[in-house]
């Protein structure tokens, strides 16, 4: 994610060199899709962990979802338009002509919807546990709020504000996107460590939510 941000900041406007601009656009398309499919992998992995569905998710499957699926999407997009949909006169990004931008927006919106559904199921499941049965309504609401605060950046749902900022000029939404995404960078950095620390983090997170 950090590399994607750096390339975006440094290279998004390098339109004077068409070949370089196309390369930057393709790299950004792939790397940002990897970020979002990583969010999807984490959402599905946590769902499987919470519901004890036949052990831990297989790492090779998660890696395939995270890196191979974006590669397939980018490859098909590049072949369909012979890379002409990458890079415009203003930015080194996907062209909005002929709907090429939807090769990014489509998967992103779908992932956000799936992870939103997963988050809703997790909240409902936690609220129905024995640990919650003796708590007051206020304590349950506080637990749900903690769940949302912890899992929203993990599932990439802060990017919902990013999509909304594209559709509106409402300044508050743009500020919220920047604020939440800053928190998300540090969160994803922590979660990008080894799998043992990931598992420890998930257990600690669930205990924190249930307390």
| Residues 182-200: tens digit of each pLDDT | 655 555 544 544 444 454 4
Q: Report the distance separating Cα 119 and Cα 151, nearest Å.
A: 7
What pLDDT does 25 receive? 92
| Residues 23-52: tens digit of each pLDDT | 999 999 999 899 889 888 888 888 887 776
Whether the CB-CB separation of 100 and 81 falls below 8 Å is answered with yes
Q: Report the distance separating Cα 100 and Cα 81, nearest Å.
A: 9
Residue ranges of alpha helices (H) inside 51-170 are 59-63, 69-81, 102-127, 130-133, 137-154, 159-167
DSSP per residue over 17-47, as a string?
SHHHHHHHHHHHHHHHHHHHHHHHHHHHHHH
Region 108-119 average pLDDT? 90
What backbone torsions phi and psi does residue 54 show, to the nearest 5 degrees?
50, 55
Residues 6+ apart with CB under 8 A from 51: 125
What pLDDT does 211 receive? 46
Measure Cα distances from 8 to 95, 141, 144, 204 in Å. Answer: 16, 39, 35, 34
Domains of the chain: 2-210 (1.20.1070)
Residue corresponding to tokens 């036949």:
54
DSSP per residue over 1-21, as a string?
-HHHHHHHHHHTT-TTSHHHH
Mean residue pLDDT of the chain comes to 75
| Residues 57-112: tens digit of each pLDDT | 677 788 888 899 999 999 999 998 877 889 888 889 888 887 888 999 999 999 99
pTM of the model: 0.73
What pLDDT does 24 receive? 92
């Amino acid at each position: 994610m950090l590399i994607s941000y750096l390339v975006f900041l440094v290279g998004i406007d390098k339109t004077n060199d068409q070949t370089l601009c196309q390369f930057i656009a393709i790299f950004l398309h792939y790397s940002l899709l990897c970020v979002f499919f990583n969010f999807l992998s984490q959402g599905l992995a946590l769902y499987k962990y919470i519901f004890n569905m036949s052990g831990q998710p297989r790492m090779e499957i998660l890696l395939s979802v995270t890196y191979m699926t974006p590669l397939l999407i980018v490859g098909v997009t590049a072949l369909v338009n012979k890379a002409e949909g990458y890079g415009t006169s203003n930015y080194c990004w996907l062209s909005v002509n002929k709907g090429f931008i939807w090769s990014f927006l489509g998967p992103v919106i779908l992932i956000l919807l799936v992870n939103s559904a997963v988050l809703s199921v997790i909240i409902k499941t936690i609220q129905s546990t024995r640990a919650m049965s003796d708590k007051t309504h206020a304590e349950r609401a506080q637990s749900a709020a903690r769940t949302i605060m912890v899992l929203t950046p993990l599932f990439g749902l802060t990017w919902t504000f990013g999509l909304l900022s594209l559709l509106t000029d409402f300044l508050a939404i743009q500020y919220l996107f920047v604020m939440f995404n800053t928190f998300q960078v540090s969160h994803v950095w922590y979660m990008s460590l080894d799998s043992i620390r990931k598992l420890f983090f998930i257990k600690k997170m669930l205990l924190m939510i249930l307390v």
